[in-house]
Amino acid sequence: MVGRFAEITGMALARHSPPAPVLVIILALVLLVPLWSWTMINMREWGFGGSPADMLSAPYFWGVLWLRLGGAFLLAIILWLYRRPASIWIALTSVWLAGPPLQMLLMGVEILAASEGQRSLPSDPLRILIWWSIGPSIMTIFLLAFRSSRRAYGLDTQP
């Protein structure tokens, strides 16, 4: 059934599991992103917990949370099933866009709500940006630095 679907649509579905570095990324997307989201929910509840700031920033927080969770699962599916160079580039672009920029936006909204409109930037935005760049950097290394990953997805054609 899956083979016939791939034949009809022209998609290159994988017949075996991805290389080990890609499996690490898939497991991180499926296990660590939900765990991190759960931690963020609990930290937010502990910090804001029903305050006016919580009500003001809740739609943005939940929007970013659901975007990240849904994106993580979709990226894991793409990396598991489709062995094309586009899969790697889609995953890297998505993770870099969903990481630091969305976190800076979310932090700005939460600080603005908590300070009652007095300020919207954290005290040291560069430090926060660096911390939020660690995850996407690790994913980039795992997907591009290992030859097995590049070869499995058609980025490295050398024998």
Q: What is the pLDDT of residue 7?
A: 54
CB 100 within 8 A of CB 133: yes
Residue 1 pLDDT level (bands cut at 50, 70, 90):
low
Looking at 11-20, 73-82, 107-116, 131-140, which range is the least confident one? 11-20
Is the pLDDT assigned to residue 141 strictly greater than 90?
Answer: yes
Residues 21 and 146: their CA atoms lie apart, in Å, by: 7
Residues 74 and 91: their CA atoms lie apart, in Å, by: 9
pTM of the model: 0.78
What does the domain layout of the chain look like in residue ranges? 18-152
